[in-house]
Structure 1
Amino acid sequence: MTDAPTLFPAGGGAASRTRDFAASEMFQKLFAEGMDLVEETASYLDGPGRDDSKSLDRAGALSYATESMKLTTRLMQAASWLLAQRAVAEGEMSPDDVLDNKYRLGFDRPTDDLWPEGETPPQILSALVARSRALYARLKRLDDNLYSEEAPETDANPVADQMAMLRGAFSER
């Protein structure tokens, strides 16, 4: 049984799923959302974010720097993934090219304990971090579904499986 529902049918393989997804309206919207978030984050970090970081004490400023680096890294990985998919849609890369692990997304390992006790992160930074984590999680689910070579379990019924196990356990006595 899989953890998340499969978004793309297994027929045709990963290259076919990648090509279909990259040409979809869903991808166009996701691409725009991702790039808008990258731009919004860059504008904040280069502008009001500098003032926000200066208003923090030394420990808070260090936490701010760490959080902003993690935020930037997460968004650059997301942007790279989105750009690779767009390159497929525009014929600049073949769907087989993006099957390489260098184009895959790794797990995002967020840490919530960066901020010293009594110090709260700037509200805008917190909102950008939350939005970037949500975007990354969506992209990771898509990445896993697009590049999974396993066929989805369409006939799996976890309730029926459990009932069969219970019947078997009680009928053996």
Structure 2
Amino acid sequence: MIEHEFRNDNTIRLAERVLFSDSFKPLYKEGMSLVEEAAAYLDGAGRDEAKSLSRTAATFYAAESMRLTTRLMQIASWLLLQRAARSGELTRQQVAMEKSKVRLDMLSAADALPGWTEMPASFIDIIERSLRLQDRVRRMDDEIYGEPADSPAVANSNPVSDQLVLLQTAFGGR
């Protein structure tokens, strides 16, 4: 049996139960599907739609695409770590160490900025869904681990470098 008491008290946490039950599978599938959908959109229809944007909107689109990609990679990293914990591939200490590199606080530039009204509806839909998913994952993370994912140690880290390390950890042995 996998030990999954991440906190050292006797409180029963719904998020931990979800994580170590079959209820995690839909969340994992949703996250990974959204990563694939966003990648396909940004490489296909999104690229074509971006060509028709004004210069301001195109700049905004490029920046927001980077935020979206980073947000989704952070979510995917968290989901992969939880999957590794579920399967026993990583110890609780390893998960905690790797999880400290995951940032679940990537915001959107918001609809108040110039160019937002020109953004393609499909792009906005993916952004909004990614923000909702990130919020759900962040709440679950806070409940399981008892600390915000954007702790000071993470704030000083390099997100790109951290992502490479997390992906190497997740896929390194395969």
Scaled by the length of structure 1, the TM-score of the pair is 0.70
Query: In structure 1, what is the equivalent of residue 159 of structure 2?
Result: none
- What residue ranges of structure 2 are gaps of 5+ in the alignment? 148-174
Query: In structure 2, what is the equivalent of residue 48 of structure 1?
Result: 45
**How many equivalent residue pairs?**
141
Superposition deviation, residue 91 in structure 1: 1.4
Pair member with larger Rg: 1
Question: What does residue range 1-173 of structure 1 map to in structure 2 within 5 Å?
Answer: 20-100=17-97, 101-113=99-111, 115-116=113-114, 119-148=117-146
* Aligned-partner Cα distance in 1 for 2:25–2:119: 32
Superposition deviation, residue 57 in structure 1: 1.4
Query: In structure 2, what is the equivalent of residue 160 of structure 1?
Result: none
Q: In the alignment, is the contact (CA less than 8 A) between 2:107 and 2:131 conserved in 1?
A: no
* Aligned-partner Cα distance in 2 for 1:52–1:117: 14
The DSSP-based 3-state class of the residue aligned with 2:105 is coil
Scaled by the length of structure 2, the TM-score of the pair is 0.70
Instruction: Give a deviation string over 1:35-61, Cα, whole Å, max 9, x none.
Output: 000000001001000101001111111
Query: In structure 2, what is the equivalent of residue 167 of structure 1?
Result: none
Superposition deviation, residue 113 in structure 1: 4.8
- Say which is worse superposed, 52-61 or 91-100, in terms of deviation: 91-100
Superposition deviation, residue 13 in structure 1: 7.0
* Aligned-partner Cα distance in 2 for 1:118–1:112: 8
Identity of aligned residues (%): 41
Superposition deviation, residue 88 in structure 1: 0.8
- Say which is worse superposed, 20-29 or 119-128, in terms of deviation: 20-29
- Say which is worse superposed, 90-99 or 137-146, in terms of deviation: 90-99
* Aligned-partner Cα distance in 2 for 1:108–1:68: 12
Query: In the superposition, relative to structure 1, how do residues 13 and 104 fare at CA in structure 2: closer, same or farther (>3 Å)?
Result: farther
- Aligned-residue CA RMSD in angstroms? 3.0
- Return the letter of the residue paired with 2:100: K
* Aligned-partner Cα distance in 2 for 1:32–1:76: 14
* Aligned-partner Cα distance in 2 for 1:117–1:46: 20
* Aligned-partner Cα distance in 1 for 2:145–2:53: 43
